[in-house]
Structure 1
Amino acid sequence: MYNFKREVPQGVNDELSDYYEIKDKLILEIKNIFKSYGYKQICTPTIEYLDVFSRIGSTVIKDEMFKLIDSSGEILVLRPDMTVPITRMVTSRKKFNDDLLKYFYVSKVYRMNKNHQGKRREITQAGIEFFGNEKLDADGEVIAIAIKTLLNEVSDFHIEIGHTDFYKGLFEEVNADNNIKSQLKKLIENKNFTEIERFLEKLNIREDVKDILVKVPGLYGDFENIIDKAKEMCLNKKMEKALEDLKSVYEILKDYGYSNFVSVDLGLINYLDYYTGIIFKGYMANYGQIILSGGRYDKLTKEFGHSIPATGFGINIDELLRGLLTINKLKHKRYYTDYLILYTPKNRREVFQIAEKLRKNAFIVETRLLNKRFKDYINYASANRVRWVMKYSDERVIVIDNKKNSSETINTRRFIKEIDTKENQNLVMPIH
């Protein structure tokens, strides 16, 4: 007997029809939103050269990559991120004019997630990337699309917006090495006030800087109030400009009608080193995981030899779907087949013709030879989420509605006529 494992590795899953059908519909809706704003779909290779990611300097990505070696000895990786490969693609074009490039994608990314803790290693991600526009209106558009994407699925969510230059400007005033700064950033991101105070006691830095570092994790909430408080804490022009940018983006989102969905978080820190300006993260109410994240990354294109402003975001489709299931807000119906039509050898041809007519009208139809008890097929339909079971004969058609738990008998000639003329009052519209 062969010795093989039937389980899948940690962090990956088989996706059965119950899950995948809903996921597929969710992805289609998200793609349609992206398209409606003029973004065009692209795809990059699953496998990239290690060098593509090594140059960006982020240890977060480097430590999380699956690495491979090809036959020529080149080190390859499964892409852990989509922004970097798309930036590679854009900057590798022979010529980049001043055009605005607006792309979207739906792709898998792969991360080790060494401290597994139930996290996926294979993640379905959808997102947009907007190249060529350095204006804050581009940041506003990207955040507005993120909001609309979530709003299409759930009403109770919020987007936290920050700015990399606020904390970068603050850390320019911290007289310490990069390792110390990295530890401090992590404490601020986790809003661990007590540990921040303890940590700062050991450092030889100015008291006014210490005071602001302790207060920064609490600078989140209502946009206008927090911005006003933060203005009094600015130690340099970089911090002041960051607050001006945040206020401007907030005004843009007001004009979109989306100000109620956003808050500011000046302690928001992104560990991907390529972010350079506005950054943001999205959460659903009663579900603590990050659903989407993004921001401006003008610095990244320079790593590939071009200076092209860019901004975008990615949404974790699997996390979004798990969140919707957790809070019971999933709007997609779970019926996967409209009709199961049962036939005998005598009327098989007629049933096949009827099934094709129904399919042309956008119904999903299964046909099955009637060689068991009728009740067995009804049980099958209930277990496999078939909406209607139809038993066909020359004289009449019996239709069982699984959703309403009802049955109806229809004259066969009348039934065929209704299909032909599409005046079908007895046939409910397709559920797909």
Structure 2
Amino acid sequence: MSSPRIGNTRRLIRQTMTIARRDFIATVFTPTFLIFLFAPLIMGSFGAIGGLGAMSVAQGSESKNRIIAIAAPDQGMVITDLDQRLRRIFRTSERPPELMVETPSTDPAAQARALFETKEFDAKAVLYGPLDKPVILYGADGPRSADYLAQLAEDTLRAARSGGTAPLSTPTKTAMVRARASLGGQNQAAFFTVFGIFFLTLLLAGQAVGTMAEERSNKVIEVLAAAVPLESVFLGKLLGMFGVAILFVAFWGTLVSQISAIAPGLAGAIQEIGPAVGMPVYVILFFAYFTMAYMLLGAVFLSVGAQASTMREIQMLSLPITIVQVAMFGLAATAASRPGTPLATFAEIFPLSSPFAMAARAANQPEIWPHIAALLWQALWVAIVITIGARAFRRGVLQSGSGKMNLKAMFRRG
């Protein structure tokens, strides 16, 4: 026969899971959940539209930029040939403006200055004079274009002395595929890890505030508190919202895992970005640290929701928490770029930044044992935060008015 304590524990677990199932179903099985589920896609679409608009404006203005070389026809042909060859080493976004070659007039200096006043294009830099001592004029944003024209003049003279612009060497280029991610790729993976956990926790844990305030305002929370212990209500709501978070992460994680099939070009670009501990272990650690970060922040937000009864109060109380989270993101992101430093060690130990910093450590350092200690340390703080949150939750519900007598009666029954 089971002892009364075991029976009470089972009843508390059953009540907690009932509250969790209720909140999970009430959140997921609604039309608005689809909007929430596709919120990253909606936000990304708006960002892409804005980015495309800004890009089209920038490209429209850049297409009118020119660099001009005033040179004799024979030199102009060499300059044009060398320009086409040099442009291959630049990325598309970093290439110099389009080159124009002008035949010199009787006054090249006046001709060069006049090119800055034309309405047909925007001259960034103009070269004239003998190539061994060229004169280069440039505008406010043309220093790099001036350097490029100077290099063209230098290479033109070298080509004349070597007998032409024909290549003097024939390189053999072989693409290499790394067996593991590069150091730069690991650092990038660390930053993406910190940003991913920060974004997910801030987006998903914030739901708890509105849910709690809504149920407190319509007295539903008092009915729940009269039926089950407040600790079960608190933990049940936290687990229910965490279930919603898992569904959200699983949906988008599945899409991201298929990126090689959806966008092969993008998959090739991120081929060298990867975690130092290996992808299977990284996925497990990412989920574990996301769980710790969510429980920490979710408990705090749920406690805030229990204290607030209006949206204005929620905003006032949530703002300091959000500011602290942004500060923790900045600390962890800085630590991710400086692994092994005292700053990184502090970020890995400090409870609020530890999930972010340790997840980044999984990306840029291969050791496994520190994660075991870190997860135990974070689990301790999750228990502390949940305990404090449950007490704050109790005070918040007890202050709601009509629930006082029911709660006292419930505790006498317990």
TM bin, normalised by shorter chain, reads: under 0.3
Higher relative contact order (CA 8 A, sep 6+): 2
Tell me which protein shows more helix as a share of its residues: 2
Richer in strand (by share): 1
* Max Rg structure: 2
What TM-score does the superposition give when structure 2 sets the normalisation length?
0.19
